[in-house]
Amino acid sequence: MKRVKLTTTSPEMSRMVYGTWRLLDTKPTAQEINRRLHACLELGITTIDTAEIYGLYMVEQVLGAALALSPGLRDKLEIVTKAGIYVPCSQDPERRTAHYNATAARLMKSLENSLRLLGTDHVELFLVHRPDWLARADDTASGLNQLARSGKIRAAGVSNYTASQFDLLNSRMEQPLATNQLEFHLLHHGPIHDGTFHQCEKQGVLPMAWSPLAGGRLFDPKNDAAQRLAATAQGMAARYDGATLEQLAYAWILAHPSRPLPVIGTNQLERIKSAAHADGITLEQEDWYALWEAAEGRRVP
């Protein structure tokens, strides 16, 4: 597995990232999660992506318990976590409405709680999970800057920001933002057209790609685009040692010149192993566009 830096000043990370959004779907024990983390490590996937809200605020605690089972494991990994989304839940029954909060005070409080749950004194990367329409950029940046100065985060970034939102916040940062984590996959090409990937490339920032398999829709037999992609992938598989649609979907993301880091979301070890092999696939230019055409259902304009 190749290793990269999101920016010249950010920590080094694995080219593909293990995501924990659905970590609790199969109700795994801490021991099972620990084994999965070790398996990722053996594959060279050392970067683990999580968030305060994942599992309705339960994933970080379970992940921390799994890390605690193997002293020294945490030091071999890079942890990415996010904060800023707050929804009514059992832990906070007084919360009335789902909302965003990216004020300095809230981000700092959330990060402190994340560190406690994860059992660590820092994270390699801390992201603002969603833009808060009511927070001034000066306020959000103040919290991120204080956390960076304290050493509790090695780098800061954002998720789901537009290019203009990224520019505004970045203008207030003491250390430039390290990434923008965006939805990007064969069924969602938004970052190619809305300027966010262009911005990343211009500023020397590597983006991250969440939901790289479209949340499973890529394999839905009722989805016309998925069926076109399956047929197209089958036709080109022989050129890539029998690569599956899943592997080609990751390779398609990896091939974009902004160099996104796909965030793998599966809980199945065999699929994690399969995904890791995509790092070794270099798509021919015509095949990249063939997959685009299959996804869009039309010729390249």
Residue 54, judged by CB atoms within 10 A of its CB (0-12, 13-18, 19+), counts as: buried
Q: Catalogue the active-site residues.
A: 54
Report CA-CA distances (Å) from 132 to 19, 93, 145.
23, 22, 17
Spell out the alpha helix ranges (H) of the chain.
30-43, 54-57, 59-68, 104-118, 137-150, 163-170, 190-193, 196-203, 224-236, 245-254, 269-277, 285-296
In whole angstroms, give the CA distance from residue 38 to residue 236: 33
Report CA-CA distances (Å) from 292 to 81, 127, 144.
31, 29, 37
Question: Please, what sign has the CA dihedral across residues 19, 247, 261, 86?
Answer: negative
Those residues whose C-beta lies under 8 Å from the C-beta of residue 68, and which sit 6 or more positions away, are: 30, 119
Phi, psi of 26, rounded to the nearest 5 degrees: -95, 10
Which tokens sit at 9? Answer: 């000043």
CB 299 within 8 A of CB 293: yes
In whole angstroms, give the CA distance from residue 81 to residue 5: 17
